[in-house]
Structure 1
Amino acid sequence: ALTGRGRYAFPNPRTSGRPMSENAITAALRALGYDGQTMTAHGFRSSASTLLHEQGYPSDVIERQLAHKEANAVKDAYNRAQHLPERIAMMQAWADYCDALRIGADVVPFRRKPAP
């Protein structure tokens, strides 16, 4: 849960001071009935990247936020920019977008695997 009080956006509910495990979202998706082909945890990163690009945010800012390594070796060696002000504004816009979805604005339902 996003509390705004801790170090991590997704804290570990069982172990204080640690992030949520990398498999927790996958396990939650499976518990909700989604299979690994319909929806994956990594797919959320892809969706965010796509939607942020559609909103006109610069690729360098998005890629830095996703912690992707620069493919161009020379650029990677010389460019140490973190783009923090841009990333903060971008992530606030992303949070606002997610909040709008949560309250029902323009929600596109996903197909779910039928319950057994």
Structure 2
Amino acid sequence: NEIYNLGDVMFLPSFEELFPMTILEAMNCRTPILLRDIDIYKNILFDFYVKGNNVEEFKILLERLASDETFYKMAVDKAWEGHLFYHRDHVSQMWDAFYTEIAPKAKPFKLKALLNRFGG
């Protein structure tokens, strides 16, 4: 936690990622997130972060985060929204809704038949 509180922006210009936990940790600390605008983030981070594509854009965005209090606060608020979205309570609700929806559609199975199929 202390390392995240040292900085006032979480900057990750990676060209490829899956879902780095560092982003979630920074969101939890209400730290604005600046990332490269890569496809995978669009469907998992939505608009919870500030995005750039190259060194010049990153420079402009970092300078704006440092000098524009309104922009910085917007980025903080977006990061916090990301934290709330991925908070365990919300994720639990999403999984509950998902399984509640698909459970009635699931075909029942017989444990003995399943075990026989796999040699048990």
User: What is the TM-score with the length of structure 1 in the denominator?
Assistant: 0.35
More helix by share: 2
Q: Which has the higher contact order (CA 8 A, sep 6+)?
A: 2
User: What is the TM-score with the length of structure 2 in the denominator?
Assistant: 0.34
Structure exhibiting the larger radius of gyration computed from Cα positions: 2
